[in-house]
Amino acid sequence: MYVAVKGGEAAIANAHRLLADRRRGDRSVPALRLDQIVEQLALGVDRVMSEGSLYDRKLAALAVVQARGDLIEAIFLLRAYRTTLPRFGYTNPVDTGAMQLERRVSATYKDLPGGQVLGPTFDYTHRLLDPQLAAGAEIEDPAQRPAEAEAMPRVSSILAHEGLIEADGDMPLDYVPGDITREPLQFPMARDIRLQALSRGDEGFLLALGYSTQRGYARNHPFVGEVRIGEVELELDVPELPFTVPLGSIRVTECQMVNQFKGSAKAPPQFTRGYGLVFGQSERKAMAMALCDRALRATELGEDVIAAAQDEEFVISHSDNVQATGFVEHLKLPHYVDFQAELDLVRRMRAEYQDRENQDKAEEKREAAE
């Protein structure tokens, strides 16, 4: 028998009304404006854009407010919005070598062309809470120094000249990049598709996996060849114009991880590489992505697959936090009928168990009496 149950409409409506009230909080405190979030919680906005896989600061800020600061909920909102829009096309690949740099550091070369440029970094801060910030202190303007018109080539192109490092990852000429927003995931997958999944993957998950490789689960001896943050130009080919159309620029973070490699049956000893590219300013995510990208190339490079970070199906199937939160959180939704069925089953099994017990006891008694 199946009995459909209805109810909870009023409770749901009131719960959402209560949510709106709690979201707004104390009415004597001014409401947040989106531009305040865009400007002052910029890295949270960047994370929502990166894992929401949609570059739009104002929308991400709205999502953050609507989600009361729950970033995974905000990411979910942005993903949902994304599905409502038509797609105009694929941009030309961005040229990160021509980036308007805001930060660029290398842990492998001290004196690389363009130098070490720290930019707005948390590095070298003392991680002490600043009470002056709480008191609303005036912030001084940044220092300025004339900029040299020096090109800042990617560090990978400097090393490449010596043949000590593998080339950028190439695909056959007629290869069309895969798109996980159009086709379901299939394993094994090509590196370009993995990179798309990693770029929108959960920062915490990728960070933990990257960390696991450092702790010995698929150790691959990484160095940060380079991290760079800045704006890149986007251009789109459209049929109505005889030239590529400029769209404006977006901020991205790129990480070139350089990994020691002893060589294998398939490849000579040389430095191999992992690559990270994410929306916004997020070098932790870009570095974690690069570590995972390198670990996931185990099969390609003839390494033994022995650890979680090298297992493509494990990593890519669990890296999306919208999917993960959907499946975990659905457990709290009504499962009354499912559970009722299980309850019946357990009752029946217990009754059978009891019957068997009773029978056994009766038999024992009879044997003892005989």
Partner 1 sequence: MRGQEAREQAERKGIMATLAHAPADEIARLWNGSGLPSEAELLRGPETGLVTVRGRIGGGGAPFNVGEATATRATVRVPSGQVGHSYALGRDKGKARLAAIADALWQDPAYRETIESKLVAPLRAALDAAREKRRVETAATKVDFFTMVRGED
| Subset of 171-210 contacting partner 1 (CB under 8 A) | 171, 175, 177-181, 191-193, 195-196, 199-200
Residues 24-43 that bind partner 1 (CB under 8 A): none
| Sole binder of partner 1 in the list 7, 146, 216, 334 (CB under 8 A) | 146
Near partner 1 in 225-284, by CB under 8 A: 233-234, 236, 238, 240-250, 252, 254, 256, 273, 275, 277-279
Residue 257: enclosing H or E segment and its boundaries? strand 245-259
Chain positions 113 to 142 lying near partner 1, rule: CB under 8 A, are 115-120, 142
Q: Could you tell me the smallest distance in angstroms from the CB atom of residue 187 to partner 1?
A: 17
Rounded Cα distance, 278 and 283, in Å = 8
CB nearer partner 1, residue 44 or residue 119 = 119
CB of 135 to partner 1, least distance (A): 25
Nearer to partner 1, 26 or 240 (CB): 240
Q: CA 324 to CA 353: how far, in whole Å? A: 38
Closest approach of Cβ 86 to partner 1, in Å? 4
- Going by their DSSP bridges, the two strands 245-259 and 272-279 should be labelled as antiparallel
CA distances from 134 to 26, 30, 32 (A): 19, 16, 17
Q: What angle do CA 233, 234, 235 make, to 5 degrees?
A: 120
Specify whether the CB–CB gap between 270 and 261 falls below 8 A. Answer: yes
| Alpha-carbon span 275 to 292, nearest angstrom | 9
Complex with partner 1: residue 104 or 284, whichever CB lies closer: 104
Tell the smallest beta-carbon distance from residue 64 to partner 1 (Å).
16
CB of 299 to partner 1, least distance (A): 16
Shortest distance (Å) from residue 209 CB to partner 1: 19
For partner 1, which is the closer residue by CB, 69 or 115? Answer: 115
Q: Which of the residues 63 through 102 are near partner 1 (CB under 8 A)?
A: 82, 85-94, 96-97, 100-102
Question: How far is it, in rounded angstroms, from Cα 368 to Cα 364?
Answer: 6
d(CA 10, CA 142): 54
The smaller minimum CB distance to partner 1, of residues 2 and 124, is found at 124
Strands 100-105 and 222-236 turn out to be antiparallel
For strand 272-279 and strand 100-105, is the pairing parallel, antiparallel, or unpaired? Answer: unpaired
- How far apart CA 58 and CA 56 sit, in angstroms, is 6
- Considering the complex, what minimum distance in angstroms separates the CB of residue 96 from partner 1? 5
Nearer to partner 1, 2 or 243 (CB): 243
Residue whose tokens read 């800020």: 61
Question: Using the rule CB under 8 A, which residue among 144, 183, 215, 370 binds partner 1?
Answer: 144
Residue from 9, 26, 138, 148 in contact with partner 1 (CB under 8 A): 148
Nearer to partner 1 among residue 57 and residue 284 (C-beta) = 57
- Would you count residue 170 as binding partner 1 (CB under 8 A)? yes
Q: Kindly report whether the peptide bond that precedes residue 177 is cis, defined as omega within 30 degrees of 0.
A: no
Q: To the nearest whole angstrom, how small is the minimum distance from the Cβ of residue 267 to partner 1?
A: 15
Among 135, 143, 333, 368, binds partner 1 (CB under 8 A): 143
Cβ proximity to partner 1: between 212 and 256 the closer is 256
Listed in order, strand segments (DSSP E) in 106-157 are none
CB of 217 to partner 1, least distance (A): 24
Q: How far is CA 42 from CA 122, 251, 284, in A?
A: 14, 11, 15
Count of residues near partner 1 by CB under 8 A: 84
- What residues between 43 and 62 interact with partner 1 by CB under 8 A? 49-50, 53-56, 58-59
Q: Which residues, at least 6 apart from 35, have a Cβ–Cβ distance to it below 8 Å? A: 61
**Amino acid in the structure at residue 85:** L
3-state SS, one letter per residue, for 144-166:
CCCCCCCCCCCHHHHHHCCCCEC
